[in-house]
Chains A and B, each alone.
Chain A
């Protein structure tokens, strides 16, 4: 059961201002997402066009 409050457990050890913050981790995650999306986009070709039959259901 929690008896702590949010203010005491934010765990902030340093203040980072606007100019010091460089979101490289965000860039890394978004690049991974784009690689996945790109891969699925390529995979779509196999699903749609090589399915050997009409695709309208």
Chain B
């Protein structure tokens, strides 16, 4: 057995390229984050104007949550598929094609976002200050939507590529259970196909024709609902690869074995079934959607706590197993036997701890009544910086310290530097995340360049608003420093410095309770996908129908114009031709 980079050089190239793209996005997004945190809190607001703030915010959102996370996950999934099935890509040209499409799509969208900084010249008018939540009535340049469409189609082809590997493997190994990592990748991708359908319909049928001027208007609530159809499950698209890291890498690092393979499969099945019919919980204050539909979305969302609680148990039990094998004793004494010196382990554990805290603020967001208290405030921003911004981002950075040697064939530069980096991120986010939650409770809005109003005085439950602003700014600076350390580490790891050993191959240990304990039905992904589709239909058909029938049709105000100018003439000429043929 060899190191992955030597055994599968072509696949390792794609993995490295995808990670490289992810880290470029992380660097850009991180810089924008620093500018925002200093601008909004008033510590340094002369770098950009309030108008440019929304360009910065869009770039931060798109770079972080679409490009950084998804580029990393496609790289990680490519490794997971190749390594767990033990076979090369069926056709490396297809693998390179989807990666290329994702890069092309990112570049198209990035140009339009960056155009927001330019007020004159050839790029003037090329703008996409529509934030990552790109629904109407905010309108971007058509190239922005087209770029996102190309990017998403790239991910679809990636999923197809991985299914192809699985089909080929299955043909050669008809009696074997699906390897756990392959199972995780395929269930995640099925969830993604269902989820991204909403945004694909919104972009292709409404936003692109509208931004090209073919339609005068679109039904804003329809594009919003289609966005959130995708906008909530996308968070599980970020999270599920991280769960794979927690299930697969953490027990190994702790010196133990995964507690239960069947439980891990159940968790991924639950995500496939429940992730999509939840998006309406982002729209609790939207008029135009009846309360009953919102209640249904809340119920589905609360059920999603189940896979996360199962994960908390399984992952902690797995690392406890490692600690006890390393000699740990007692109810809490075993915690000292864990390998805290490994940045990959410590980073992922801190990320998991932060996720446990963020789970609580997530329950607040998901509750229909108490959501009104925090809706559109900085609380929500605090929540997702602790979830995607830490549970996901910190796990990704930490896992990189373990993962990089596999795909480059070289050890990382320094464990101590890695440890300092993950700790700094955690501390920075404790300050920023906590203060954002509290500022939200005091009523400070989100998505706002300068949240000060003459007639409003923010009143924190305790402590002054100035203290919260200071914590947010300080947290943001610490997070930026952590990013600088991370990138310095990546650069130093890519040179031969000192006497760093070459990476040694190692394998993922077998679970304590293996796949032979898992009921066969768990691998019946067709069944789980069908149940997911039924749940989506139950949750979405009626609200979408009422949004179209009561909310001004498919296109809002211009619907009548379109029908009169395009549809009716087309229909009547078709009838004429038909009558002509018959006669």
Query: Are the C-beta atoms of B506 and A7 separated by less than 8 Å?
Result: yes
Q: CA A24 – CA B316 in complex, angstroms?
A: 11
Q: CA A16 – CA B412 in complex, angstroms?
A: 31
Q: CA A11 – CA B331 in complex, angstroms?
A: 20
- The A/B interface has a contact count, at CB < 8 Å, of 102
Question: Which residues of B are found within 8 Å of A18, using beta-carbon distances?
Answer: 512-513
Question: Within the complex, which residue of B330, B332, B339, B504 is in contact with A11, where a contact is CB–CB below 8 Å?
Answer: B339
Question: Within the complex, which residue of B255, B441, B506 is in contact with A12, where a contact is CB–CB below 8 Å?
Answer: B255
Where chain A touches its partner, the secondary structure class is loop
Q: CA A21 – CA B259 in complex, angstroms?
A: 9
Question: Within the complex, which residue of A1, A25, A37 is in contact with B335, where a contact is CB–CB below 8 Å?
Answer: A25
Measured CB to CB, the nearest residue on chain A to B501 is A3
Question: Which residues of B are found within 8 Å of A47, using beta-carbon distances?
Answer: 373, 441, 461
Given known pairs A2-B415, A15-B325, the reply for A30 and B372 (CB within 8 Å) is no
List A5-43 residues whose CB lies under 8 Å from chain B. 5-7, 9-18, 21, 23-26, 28-30, 33, 37, 40
Question: Which residues of A are found within 8 Å of B364, using beta-carbon distances?
Answer: 44
Question: Within the complex, which residue of A3, A9, A25 is in contact with B320, where a contact is CB–CB below 8 Å?
Answer: A25
Question: Which residues of B are found within 8 Å of A10, using beta-carbon distances?
Answer: 255, 326
Question: Within the complex, which residue of A2, A4, A33, A40 is in contact with B414, where a contact is CB–CB below 8 Å?
Answer: A2
Q: Mark B170-191, 1 if CB is under 8 A from A, else 0.
A: 0000000000000000000000
Query: Are the C-beta atoms of B376 and A57 separated by less than 8 Å?
Result: yes
B426 at interface (Cβ–Cβ under 8 A)? no
Query: Are the C-beta atoms of A55 and B325 separated by less than 8 Å?
Result: no
A45 to chain B, nearest CB (A): 10
Query: Are the C-beta atoms of B500 and A3 separated by less than 8 Å?
Result: yes
B94 at interface (Cβ–Cβ under 8 A)? no
Sorting the interface of chain A by its residue count into under 10, 10 to 19, 20 to 34 or 35 or more gives 20 to 34
A37 to chain B, nearest CB (A): 6
B434 to chain A, nearest CB (A): 13
Question: Within the complex, which residue of B356, B499, B506, B512 is in contact with A21, where a contact is CB–CB below 8 Å?
Answer: B512
Given known pairs A12-B326, A14-B327, the reply for A3 and B499 (CB within 8 Å) is yes
Q: CA A52 – CA B475 in complex, angstroms?
A: 31
Q: CA A17 – CA B259 in complex, angstroms?
A: 10
Question: Which residues of A are found within 8 Å of B255, using beta-carbon distances?
Answer: 10-12
Query: Are the C-beta atoms of B504 and A5 separated by less than 8 Å?
Result: yes
Q: CA A44 – CA B242 in complex, angstroms?
A: 30
Measured CB to CB, the nearest residue on chain A to B341 is A9
Given known pairs A1-B413, A21-B321, A21-B512, the reply for A28 and B332 (CB within 8 Å) is yes
B104 at interface (Cβ–Cβ under 8 A)? no
Query: Are the C-beta atoms of B504 and A57 separated by less than 8 Å?
Result: no
Q: CA A28 – CA B316 in complex, angstroms?
A: 11
Measured CB to CB, the nearest residue on chain A to B372 is A56
Query: Are the C-beta atoms of A25 and B331 separated by less than 8 Å?
Result: yes
Measured CB to CB, the nearest residue on chain B to A11 is B326
Binding site for A on B (CB under 8 A): 253, 255, 259, 285, 312-313, 316-317, 320-321, 323-328, 330-332, 334-335, 339, 356, 360, 364, 369-370, 372-377, 411-415, 441, 443, 445, 461, 497-501, 504, 506, 512-513
Binding site for B on A (CB under 8 A): 1-7, 9-18, 21, 23-26, 28-30, 33, 37, 40, 44, 47-48, 55-57
User: 6 pairs across A/B with beta carbons < 8 Å?
Assistant: A1-B413, A3-B411, A11-B339, A14-B327, A15-B325, A28-B331
Ranked nearest first, the 6 interchain pairs of A and B with the lowest CB-CB distance are: A23-B317, A5-B504, A55-B373, A26-B317, A26-B316, A18-B512
Knowing that A9-B339, A23-B321, A57-B374 touch, tell me 12 more A-B residue pairs with CB under 8 angstroms: A2-B414, A3-B499, A7-B504, A12-B325, A16-B324, A23-B317, A25-B320, A25-B330, A26-B316, A37-B360, A40-B360, A57-B377
